[in-house]
C-alpha cells in the first residue's frame, strides 16, 4: 500500500474544546508559570476527551517543569510497578532519556491526544522525526486531504534564558529557529509570555488538526500581562499591542517588539523609562512571528496576519527595536518584509552564557531594558 493509503494517514479525530482556567491580569495579579497553564491545559483536554488515548513524551524532569497534574493523572509507563501512585504498566507518560524516542511515542499515537515536553537546548534531537511529520502533513494538505489527527504541542521549557544550572550546554535556541524553516501553516512556533497566553495556546492546539506546535514557555513564574480576552486575541492574530504600555502611541515613530516572556518584561521596563522622558512609542508582543513573514506558499499567505493585523500594529513607525528570545539575526531575516525600509536594532541570544540567573543571561547577551533604551537613543 502507498503511504497515502495507510490507515494511519486517514485518522479522523474530532477537535477537543477546552475551557482554560483564566487568571487575573495586571500589576496586582500574582505571578504564575506558563508551564502550569500548559499542564492545566493538557489535563483539561484529557478530561474533555476521555475516549482518546493520552501520551506524554517525557525525556526530562517533568515535575520540576511543572507538569505535576499530568504526571499524577497519566502515571509513568513501566514494566514493573514500584510506586503504584506514580507508575502503571498502562501509564501514559513515556519516559526515556532519548528525545527522538519520546516524541515518536507522541507522534505515533495518531488516534489519541498528545504532548511532548523537553528542555529547550535538547529539543533539536527531536527535529528530524518532527520534520517527517510536517512534510507528510504539508503534502497531504496540498493534495486536498489535510491530516485530521489532533495537533501536537512540543513544549520547550527550562529554556535558554532561565537555565543557568549547567552552563552553555543547556542554553540554545536552535530548535525554534529550525522550525521557522518549515511551512508556517503546519509548523507553528509560539512564544507565550504568561499564564493566560500559554492557556490560550493550548486551547488553540487541540482545536486544530494536523499541525505541530513548537511552544517556547518559561517554567519561571512571570507577571500576568494579558487577560483572557487579550490572550485569545494574541493567539488569533499572532501579535498584539500592549495597551497599558507605550506612550502617545498614535504619534509614535518607534516600536519596541518583544518575542518571549522575559523579553516582554524587559520591553515593559524600557517603556517606563521612555515614558518618563516623553518619548512616543508602542510596545508590541509578537507571539507567532512566522505569521508576519512573506509567505512562501499560498498556504502561508493564507496563514499570514500582516494585512489584517501587522499593518495596524506598526502603522507610521519608522524605527524598530526587537527583543528576541532567539538569536536576533534569525528574527531579522524572518521579519525582513515587515522591517524593510525601517531603522532596526535587534537584541537577543548571542551565545553568551554560563551559570547565570535570568537577569545575568539578559545582561551578558545585551538584552536588558537598558540595552533596549541605548538602542532607542
CB atoms within 10 A of CB 26: 11
Residue with cell 528525545: 99
Helix (H) or strand (E) segment spanning residue 56: strand 54-58
Cell of 59: 525525556
What's the whole-model pTM score? 0.95
Query: Which residues 6+ apart lie within 8 Å of 359 measured at CB?
Result: 368
Q: Give the pLDDT score at 9.
A: 79
Instruction: Tell me the torsion sign for CA atoms 303, 305, 307, 308.
Output: positive
Each of the 377 residues of the chain gets a pLDDT tens digit; together they read: 787 788 877 889 999 999 999 999 988 899 999 999 999 999 999 999 999 999 999 997 888 899 999 999 999 999 999 988 889 999 999 999 999 999 999 999 999 999 999 999 999 999 999 999 999 999 999 999 999 999 999 999 999 999 877 788 888 999 999 999 999 999 999 999 999 999 999 999 999 999 999 999 999 999 999 999 999 999 999 999 999 999 999 999 999 999 999 999 999 999 999 999 999 999 999 999 999 999 999 999 999 999 989 999 998 899 999 999 999 999 999 998 889 889 999 999 999 988 899 999 999 999 999 999 999 99
Give the C-alpha distances (Å, rounded to integers) separating 75 from 42, 52, 296. 14, 16, 42
164 within 8 A of 119, measured Cβ to Cβ? no
Q: Give the pLDDT score at 313.
A: 93
47 within 8 A of 104, measured Cβ to Cβ? no
SS3 assignment, position 259: strand
Amino acid at each position: 500500500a502507498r503511504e497515502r493509503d495507510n490507515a494511519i494517514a486517514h485518522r479522523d479525530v474530532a477537535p477537543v474544546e477546552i475551557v482554560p482556567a483564566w487568571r487575573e491580569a495586571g500589576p496586582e495579579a500574582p505571578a504564575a508559570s506558563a508551564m502550569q497553564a500548559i499542564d492545566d491545559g493538557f489535563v483539561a483536554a484529557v478530561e474533555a476527551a476521555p475516549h482518546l488515548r493520552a501520551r506524554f513524551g517525557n525525556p526530562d524532569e517533568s515535575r520540576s517543569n511543572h507538569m505535576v497534574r499530568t504526571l499524577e493523572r497519566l502515571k509513568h509507563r513501566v514494566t514493573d510497578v514500584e510506586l503504584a501512585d506514580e507508575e502503571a504498566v498502562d501509564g501514559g507518560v513515556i519516559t526515556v532519556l532519548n528525545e527522538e524516542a519520546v516524541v515518536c511515542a507522541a507522534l505515533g499515537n495518531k488516534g489519541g491526544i498528545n504532548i511532548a515536553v523537553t528542555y529547550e537546548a535538547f529539543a533539536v534531537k527531536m527535529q528530524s522525526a518532527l520534520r517527517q511529520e510536517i512534510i507528510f502533513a504539508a503534502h497531504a494538505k496540498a493534495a486536498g486531504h489535510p491530516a485530521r489527527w489532533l495537533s501536537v504541542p512540543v513544549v520547550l521549557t527550562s529554556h535558554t534564558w532561565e537555565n543557568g544550572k549547567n552552563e552553555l550546554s543547556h542554553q540554545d535556541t536552535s530548535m525554534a529557529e529550525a522550525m521557522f524553516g518549515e511551512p508556517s501553516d503546519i509548523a507553528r512556533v509560539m512564544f507565550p509570555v504568561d499564564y493566560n497566553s500559554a492557556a490560550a495556546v493550548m486551547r488553540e492546539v487541540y482545536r486544530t488538526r494536523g499541525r505541530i506546535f513548537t511552544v517556547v514557555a518559561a517554567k519561571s513564574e512571570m507577571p500576568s500581562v494579558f487577560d483572557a480576552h487579550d490572550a485569545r486575541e494574541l493567539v488569533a492574530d499572532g501579535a498584539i499591542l500592549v495597551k497599558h504600555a507605550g506612550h502617545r502611541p498614535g504619534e509614535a515613530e518607534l516600536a519596541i517588539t518583544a518575542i518571549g516572556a522575559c523579553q516582554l518584561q524587559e520591553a515593559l521596563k524600557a517603556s517606563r523609562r521612555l515614558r518618563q522622558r516623553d518619548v512616543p512609542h508602542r510596545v508590541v508582543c509578537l507571539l507567532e512571528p512566522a505569521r508576519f513573514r512573506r509567505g512562501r506558499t499560498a498556504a502561508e499567505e493564507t496563514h499570514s496576519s500582516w494585512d489584517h493585523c501587522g499593518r495596524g500594529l506598526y502603522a507610521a513607525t519608522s524605527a524598530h527595536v526587537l527583543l528576541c528570545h532567539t538569536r536576533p539575526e534569525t528574527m531579522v531575516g524572518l521579519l525582513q518584509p515587515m522591517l524593510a525600509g525601517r531603522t532596526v536594532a535587534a537584541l537577543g541570544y548571542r551565545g553568551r552564557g554560563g551559570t547565570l540567573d535570568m537577569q545575568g543571561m539578559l545582561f551578558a547577551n545585551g538584552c536588558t531594558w537598558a540595552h533596549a533604551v541605548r538602542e532607542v537613543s
